[in-house]
């Protein structure tokens, strides 16, 4: 029997059983991550090999270095997740892997490793969209959460409001028309000489600042639930340059707090408007920006005031990790077919193809 036939047969067995342990692999950017996740909800083990200190030397992610470090990290991570779970390789039922979006070289390292492992062990290969992974982190963190719900996905490269209709089925309600929220934070941080990674450090500084100290423009968009951060980012950068030219000191904590408030207000306003207009009962956060302290507080406060159930992953599951990929892979396994070994990286793939 060919590998493809074996994989399909194994998927049929797992669907009938309704249970599977997924070995998940994530390598879309600068974190190499691996996890063992049971039934999309239960974490057996999860490990991350971080590259932050290396890329901090260059002020941002260097794709070639990221790819090489993924190659070095993958085999040791397998040993670590198996040891942490107290399991052998025979306990693995399928392999889930991120195939996009992300840096193409970084994606290819994890994808190639996962395909080789799946083939060698005769296991089904499950292709996972990285953004769907972020959404699925909520299933791990909140066992009672079930679709439908509205989810704000905010990260360095994405800002979406999606309606999660059922597992693996999404409707786009709003998206950024230019820059993402995380990108605006990172670029503004660079202007203030806040070192990489700028967004989290800006968030920390903002906790000590006055959010009313500086005024930034409120950006309007044609789409009711769409975002635009390019104009805000440009206004922030131009204002910083203008103040420096006048010899005025920029109070970094106040500046950070004011910018953070402008971004968070836009994210929360539009997400809750989408919830109100669609009649949603629950709202969730996902993505790296979901670790932002003000965003978490405001979504909890304002969402609860509206009568919504508010869900968010712990900070450790907001940034890139393999646990979220393992959760998404399980639900893909239960509703779809295994991916072929010809699966390629798709660095620009969307969550919803239109």
> Tens digit of pLDDT for each residue in 212-265?
999 988 888 889 999 999 888 888 888 888 988 989 888 999 999 999 999 999
pLDDT at 295 over 70: yes
Query: Using an 8 Å Cβ cutoff, are 299 and 312 in contact?
Result: yes
pLDDT category at 94 given cuts 50, 70, 90 is: very high
Distance CA 112, CA 93 (A): 18
Reading the block at residue 102, the tokens are: 């992300």
Query: Using an 8 Å Cβ cutoff, are 87 and 106 in contact?
Result: no
Give Cα 32 distance to the centre of its chain: 14
User: How many CB atoms within 10 Å of residue 193?
Assistant: 9
Confidence at residue 239, expressed as pLDDT on a 0 to 100 scale: 87
Instruction: Quickly list DSSP for 317-345.
Output: GTSS-SHHHHHHHHHHHHHS-PPPTT---
pLDDT at 342 over 70: yes
Query: Using an 8 Å Cβ cutoff, are 286 and 152 in contact?
Result: yes
Crossing angle of helices 3-17 and 323-335, rounded to 10°: 90
Find the length of the chain: 354
Judged by average pLDDT, the poorest of 115-129, 184-198, 293-307 is 184-198
Identify the sign of the CA torsion 72, 73, 79, 82: negative
Beta strands (DSSP E) in 178-262 are none
Strand partners, 48: 33
pLDDT at 5 over 80: yes
Beta strands (DSSP E) in 51-120 are 94-100
pLDDT category at 353 given cuts 50, 70, 90 is: low
User: How many CB atoms within 10 Å of residue 298?
Assistant: 18
pLDDT at 2 over 70: yes
Q: Mind listing the pLDDT tens digit for each residue in 164-178? A: 999 999 999 999 999
pLDDT category at 158 given cuts 50, 70, 90 is: confident
Cβ burial 215-231 (10 Å sphere, 16+ → b, else e): ebeebebeeebbbbbbb
Confidence at residue 77, expressed as pLDDT on a 0 to 100 scale: 98
Q: Which of 159, 122, 148, 77 is nearest to 325 (CA)?
A: 77
Residues ≥6 apart with Cβ < 8 Å to 264: 292, 294, 295, 298
pLDDT category at 42 given cuts 50, 70, 90 is: very high
Distance CA 50, CA 257 (A): 28
pLDDT category at 206 given cuts 50, 70, 90 is: very high
pLDDT at 354 over 80: no
Please, what is the end-to-end C-alpha distance for the chain in angstroms?
Answer: 37
Query: Using an 8 Å Cβ cutoff, are 106 and 66 in contact?
Result: yes
pTM: 0.94
**Please, what is the average pLDDT of the chain?**
94
Confidence at residue 135, expressed as pLDDT on a 0 to 100 scale: 97
């Amino acid at each position: 029997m060919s590998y493809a036939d074996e994989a399909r047969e194994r998927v049929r067995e797992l669907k009938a059983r309704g249970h599977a342990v997924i070995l998940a692999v994530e390598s879309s950017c600068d974190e190499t991550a691996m996890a063992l996740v049971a039934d999309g909800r239960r974490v057996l083990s999860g490990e991350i090999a971080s590259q932050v200190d290396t890329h901090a030397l260059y002020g941002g992610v260097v794709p070639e270095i990221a790819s090489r470090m993924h190659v070095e990290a993958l085999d040791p991570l397998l040993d670590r997740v198996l040891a942490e779970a107290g399991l052998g390789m025979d306990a693995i039922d399928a392999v889930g892997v991120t195939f996009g979006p992300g840096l193409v070289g970084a994606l290819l390292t994890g994808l190639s490793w996962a395909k080789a492992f799946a083939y060698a062990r005769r296991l089904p290969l499950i292709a996972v969209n990285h953004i769907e992974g972020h959404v699925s982190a909520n299933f791990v963190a909140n066992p009672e959460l079930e679709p439908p719900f509205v989810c704000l996905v905010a990260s360095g490269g994405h800002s979406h409001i999606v309606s999660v209709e059922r597992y693996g089925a999404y409707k786009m309600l709003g998206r950024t028309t230019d820059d993402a929220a995380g990108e605006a934070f990172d670029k503004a941080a660079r202007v203030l000489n806040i070192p990489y990674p700028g967004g989290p450090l800006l968030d920390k500084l903002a906790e000590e600042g006055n959010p009313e100290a500086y005024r930034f423009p409120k950006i309007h968009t044609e789409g009711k639930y769409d975002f635009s951060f390019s104009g805000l980012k440009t206004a922030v950068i131009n204002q910083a340059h203008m103040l420096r030219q006048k010899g005025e000191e920029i109070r970094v904590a106040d500046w950070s707090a004011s910018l953070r408030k402008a971004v968070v207000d836009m994210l929360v306003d539009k997400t809750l408007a989408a919830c109100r207009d669609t009649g949603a009962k629950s709202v969730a956060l996902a993505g790296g920006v979901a670790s932002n302290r003000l965003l978490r507080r405001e979504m909890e406060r304002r969402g609860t005031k509206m009568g919504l159930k508010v869900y968010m992953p712990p900070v450790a599951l907001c940034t890139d990790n393999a646990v979220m990929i393992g959760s998404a892979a399980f639900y893909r396994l239960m509703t779809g077919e295994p991916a072929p070994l010809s699966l390629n990286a798709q660095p620009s793939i969307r969550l919803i193809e239109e």
